[in-house]
């Protein structure tokens, strides 16, 4: 058996892929390896509870805002668990949701154009496809431009991106003006137009009514999603890259994301069934360990989380149909991420229009220094379900546990199952395709090891 | 030579222990500035961005001297011990030792690369390039100088602002001398305080405190932990994402451009002693500060006692 080590670039952080090839030239086993452990859970131990609001965004440069929201959610749940009143106005809730979703849009745009599309340049080099080339390609440049546009929405409400801590227990720190909301609306509108024209080749009203691949291709005037689908069909990536048919979404973002679990059939989410596995993490097991990350299991099963899981647990017709025909292939997994850009932008516009500036931004809760006990924080981040768990005594952190989406998708294996990403590359014959399939999970080694 | 562009200086961006926040901050620059940057500087390698060459090939070219390294940008904390921090399959310990004398300029971008920051808290081997927190002598030793004669240029911040990164590199590219402060940060940016240009300055002057978060009114320095008057950064001069800043959105400055950022705690409250902040604004004695604020307090500025929208 031949073993090959591939070092990935164009992902978040540093990740290696160890591939085992069988005699027929197919991948028979695969290991996703991540180093560079920083030890955030340890850093948080003994810290003042509110320090977590400042420290946790720094877990990840691209989805740090989601870590902030998970932290504030965990702290607010801590109040609730200890029967201490805490009230958050609709306004603060809406604004938090808007800024969290801005980060997701930013993420997906960069990921599709900066990480995914350049792979096809290698498979289909042509003058026409140079538009996807890093630094010089017009499509690459636009993606950078518009991803930096959308994070301006976070800056309007939260001061800056990356790494603000404007969401605090009890609400948000800012008191935006109506004209600030108009500013944010104009950015979202510009993004919607860009995405309609360049990616989908149709209006969002039309796109949201699309029911399957054929209908999309026949109705779209042509856009980068069409180009992408064409690339996938030509390379077989419309069918390849499938993994375990289990999906999880831990929180609901009304009205575009519904929580749920899919194991063959959709079932009700029971958060108690979530467990970390450590057998193959070097930190806990020097002999069998191969990576610095834990894995996560739901009821003992590996789960895929992220945009495709969100589409399936939300029972979006287009994706139920795509899944029936193409399963969780590379094509469908990537499409779900691209789809989410538009779906979220449309809702962001609604949420912005719903903000009542006359409501309070912040209602001061009781002193956190009296808090005891433990609580969870749940958030849908760019890459999927993010969970924080905090244990506190007198406002000091006793322990802090973080389960990132990437740990679900490409954390270490257990004795029974590989990670979903490791499973997805099995049987492939081309190392480039293996890299591409791994990228379809939107790799973030920074979150993976944290 | 592969990957190079005629007439353009080469930049290689590597990473140690990092959240990638500085890379994403860099990418959040406005498109005009990015265009100018890319037409002046050749990004030979960036782990997230470049697709033509793998790091091992770029590394080989640099080691052989076939390609000149003009700017080495380091993001993330590094280790003074082997086998602790990796980048693209290589030990960062080895990469830095091999490239430190080859690059004209080395920029440490973000507090992790500058001071070690959070990753350096519980591991004595983890450091910044030139410092571990406030102590000189990080990875490269106290007296290290690059080929150009500059020490490591520290662009601090968690993260660093994209304009601070890009304008520093372009200034060097255009041949300007850069004056550095005593922590090797470009003076052009770090001679300002986060306080300078804050839209709550009037409240500071008249000592009108904000007692709670979530309002436009009041200064965050007195009770809510703001480090603006103590923090070197032009956050309220060169706005974030061209829109705002933490203090403008009601969040206290947490002093993230300073070496002691991860060493402090309770970022949302001001440590006081009989009602007086333990740390007073830079450049002022405690005595002068107490007198001045006492005087300011006795003269009420009527405008500042109302909600902003109710003022005349």
Q: What's the pTM value of the predicted model, to 2 decimals?
A: 0.98
**Which residue in B38, B122, B265 is closest to A135 by CB distance?**
B38
| pLDDT confidence of residue B36 | 96
Mean local confidence (pLDDT), A237-244: 98
Confidence band for A423, pLDDT divided at 50, 70 and 90: very high
**Which residue in B30, B159, B249 is closest to A166 by CB distance?**
B249
Confidence band for A301, pLDDT divided at 50, 70 and 90: very high
Interface test with A, best of B95, B237, B251 (most A CBs within 10 A): B251
| pLDDT confidence of residue B275 | 85
How far is the C-alpha of A122 from the C-alpha of A48, rounded, in Å? 50
CB–CB of A9 and B88 under 8 A?
A: yes
Q: Is the pLDDT of residue A247 over 90?
A: yes
- Residues B225, B247: contact at Cβ < 8 Å? no
How far is the C-alpha of B97 from the C-alpha of B72, rounded, in Å? 12
Place of tokens 């789809």: A339
Mean local confidence (pLDDT), A112-138: 96
Chain A neighbours among B 76-135 (CB < 8 Å)? 85-89, 118-119, 121-123
DSSP of A154-216:
HHHHHS-SSS---EETTEES----HHHHHHHHHHHHHHHHHIIIIIISS-HHHHHT--SHHHH
CB–CB of A166 and B251 under 8 A?
A: yes
| pLDDT confidence of residue B297 | 87
Chain A neighbours among B 154-173 (CB < 8 Å)? 158-159
Side by side, the strands of the sheet bearing A2-8 are A2-8, A15-21, A27-34
Interface test with B, best of A163, A172, A282, A381 (most B CBs within 10 A): A163
Q: Collect all residues of chain A within an 8 Å Cβ-Cβ radius of residue B55.
A: 7, 9
Q: What are phi and psi of A29, to 5 degrees?
A: -155, 155
Strand-pairing partners, residue B180, are B186
- Residues A226, A207: contact at Cβ < 8 Å? no
| pLDDT confidence of residue A1 | 85
Q: Is the pLDDT of residue B3 over 90?
A: no
How far is the C-alpha of A151 from the C-alpha of B240, rounded, in Å? 10
**Which residue in B43, B214, B244 is closest to A160 by CB distance?**
B244
Q: Is the pLDDT of residue A384 over 80?
A: yes
- Residues A308, A328: contact at Cβ < 8 Å? yes
Mean local confidence (pLDDT), A354-378: 97
CB–CB of A175 and B49 under 8 A?
A: no
Q: Is the pLDDT of residue A324 over 90?
A: yes
Interface test with A, best of B44, B249, B265 (most A CBs within 10 A): B249
**Which residue in B16, B28, B55 is closest to A151 by CB distance?**
B28
Confidence band for A31, pLDDT divided at 50, 70 and 90: very high
Residue A366 CB burial class (10 angstroms; 0-12, 13-18, ≥19): middle
Q: Which residue of A has its CA nearest to B16?
A: A36
B145-184 pLDDT per residue, tens: 999 999 999 999 999 999 999 999 999 999 999 999 999 9
Closest CA to B6 of B40, B36, B45: B40
Confidence band for B12, pLDDT divided at 50, 70 and 90: very high
**Which residue in B16, B22, B122 is closest to A42 by CB distance?**
B122
Helical segments of B66-109, H only: 92-99
CB–CB of B250 and A60 under 8 A?
A: no
CB–CB of A48 and B265 under 8 A?
A: yes
A36-70 pLDDT per residue, tens: 999 999 999 999 999 999 999 999 999 999 999 99
| pLDDT confidence of residue B51 | 87
How far is the C-alpha of B224 from the C-alpha of A396, rounded, in Å? 19
CB–CB of A10 and B25 under 8 A?
A: no
- Residues A43, B121: contact at Cβ < 8 Å? yes
Q: Is the peptide bond before A162 cis (omega within 30 degrees of 0)?
A: yes
Confidence band for B4, pLDDT divided at 50, 70 and 90: confident
Q: Which residue of B has its CA nearest to A49?
A: B266
CB–CB of B54 and A9 under 8 A?
A: yes
Q: What are phi and psi of B38, to 5 degrees?
A: -70, -20
Mean local confidence (pLDDT), A306-326: 98
Q: Which residue of B has its CA nearest to A5?
A: B89
Q: Which residue of A has its CA nearest to B212?
A: A364
Q: Is the pLDDT of residue A276 over 80?
A: yes
| pLDDT confidence of residue B274 | 87
CB–CB of A164 and B267 under 8 A?
A: no
Q: ipTM value, please give it.
A: 0.98
**Which residue in B28, B52, B85 is closest to A148 by CB distance?**
B28
| pLDDT confidence of residue B216 | 97
Q: Is the pLDDT of residue B2 over 80?
A: no
Chains A & B: contacts with CB separation below 8 Å: 209
Å between B249 CA and nearest CA of chain A: 5
């Amino acid at each position: 058996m031949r073993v090959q080590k591939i070092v990935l670039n164009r992902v978040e952080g540093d990740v290696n892929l160890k591939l085992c090839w069988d005699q027929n030239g197919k991948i028979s086993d695969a290991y996703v390896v991540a180093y560079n452990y920083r030890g955030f859970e340890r850093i948080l131990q003994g810290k003042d509870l509110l320090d977590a609001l400042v420290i946790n965004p720094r877990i990840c440069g691209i989805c740090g805002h989601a870590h902030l929201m998970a932290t504030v959610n965990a702290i607010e749940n801590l109040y609730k668990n200890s029967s201490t009143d805490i009230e958050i106005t609709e306004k603060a809730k809406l604004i938090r949701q808007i800024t969290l979703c801005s980060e997701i849009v930013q993420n997906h745009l960069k990921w599709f154009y900066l990480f995914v599309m350049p792979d096809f340049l290698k498979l289909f080099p042509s003058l026409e496809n140079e538009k996807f080339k890093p630094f010089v390609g017009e499509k690459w440049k636009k993606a950078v431009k518009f991803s930096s546009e959308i994070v301006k929405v976070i800056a309007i409400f939260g001061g800056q991106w990356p790494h603000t801590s404007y969401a605090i227990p009890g609400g948000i720190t800012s008191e935006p003006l109506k004209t600030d909301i108009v500013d944010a609306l104009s950015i979202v509108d510009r993004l919607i137009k860009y995405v309609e024209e360049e990616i989908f080749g149709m209006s969002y009203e039309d796109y949201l009514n699309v029911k399957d691949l054929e209908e999309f291709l026949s109705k779209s005037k042509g856009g980068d999603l069409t180009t992408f689908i064409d690339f996938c069909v030509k390379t077989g990536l419309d069918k390849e890259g499938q993994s375990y048919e289990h999906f999880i979404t831990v929180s609901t973002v009304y009205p575009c994301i519904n929580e749920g679990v899919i194991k063959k059939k959709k079932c009700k989410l029971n958060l108690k069934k979530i467990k970390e596995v450590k057998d193959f993490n070097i930190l806990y097991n020097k002999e069998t360990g191969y990576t610095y990350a834990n894995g996560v299991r739901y009821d003992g099963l590996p789960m895929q989380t992220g945009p495709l899981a969100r589409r399936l647990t939300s029972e979006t017709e287009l994706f139920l149909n795509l899944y029936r025909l193409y399963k969780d292939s590379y094509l469908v997994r990537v499409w779900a991420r691209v789809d989410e850009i538009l779906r979220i932008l449309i809702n962001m516009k609604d949420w912005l229009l719903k903000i009542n500036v006359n409501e309070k931004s912040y209602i001061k809760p009781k002193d956190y220094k009296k808090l005891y006990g433990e609580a969870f924080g749940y958030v849908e981040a760019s890459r999927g379900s993010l969970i924080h768990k905090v244990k506190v005594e007198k406002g000091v952190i006793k322990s802090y546990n973080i389960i990132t989406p990437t740990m679900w998708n490409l954390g270490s294996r257990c004795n029974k199952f590989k990670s979903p990403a490791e499973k997805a590359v099995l049987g492939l014959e081309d190392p480039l395709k293996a890299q591409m399939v791994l990228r379809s999970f939107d790799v973030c080694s920074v979150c993976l090891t944290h | 030579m592969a990957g190079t562009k005629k007439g353009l200086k080469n930049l290689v961006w590597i990473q140690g222990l990092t959240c990638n926040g500085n890379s994403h901050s860099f990418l959040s620059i406005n498109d005009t500035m990015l265009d100018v940057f890319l037409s002046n500087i050749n990004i030979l390698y960036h782990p997230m961005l470049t697709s033509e060459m793998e790091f091992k090939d770029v590394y080989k070219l640099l080691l052989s001297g076939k390609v000149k390294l003009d700017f080495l940008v380091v993001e993330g904390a590094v280790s003074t011990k082997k086998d602790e921090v990796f980048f693209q399959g290589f030990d960062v310990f080895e990469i830095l030792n091999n490239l430190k004398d080859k690059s004209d300029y080395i920029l440490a971008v973000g507090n992790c690369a500058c001071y070690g920051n959070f990753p350096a808290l519980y591991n004595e081997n983890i450091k910044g390039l030139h410092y571990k927190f406030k102590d000189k002598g990080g990875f490269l030793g106290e007296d290290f100088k690059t080929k150009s004669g500059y020490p490591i240029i520290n662009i601090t911040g968690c993260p660093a602002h994209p304009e601070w990164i890009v304008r520093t590199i372009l200034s060097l590219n255009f041949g300007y001398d850069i004056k550095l402060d005593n922590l090797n940060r470009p003076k052009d940016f770090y001679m300002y305080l986060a306080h300078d240009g804050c839209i709550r300055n009037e409240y500071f002057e008249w000592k009108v405190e904000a007692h709670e978060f979530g309002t436009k009114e009041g200064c965050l320095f007195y009770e809510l932990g703001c480090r603006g008057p103590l923090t070197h950064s032009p956050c309220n001069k060169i706005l974030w994402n061209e829109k705002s800043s933490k203090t403008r959105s009601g969040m206290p400055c947490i002093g993230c451009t300073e070496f002691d950022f991860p060493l402090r705690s309770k970022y949302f409250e001001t440590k006081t002693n009989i009602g007086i902040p333990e740390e007073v604004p830079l450049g002022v004695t405690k005595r002068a500060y107490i007198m001045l604020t006492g005087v300011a307090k006795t003269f009420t500025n009527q405008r500042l006692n109302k909600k902003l929208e109710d003022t005349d």
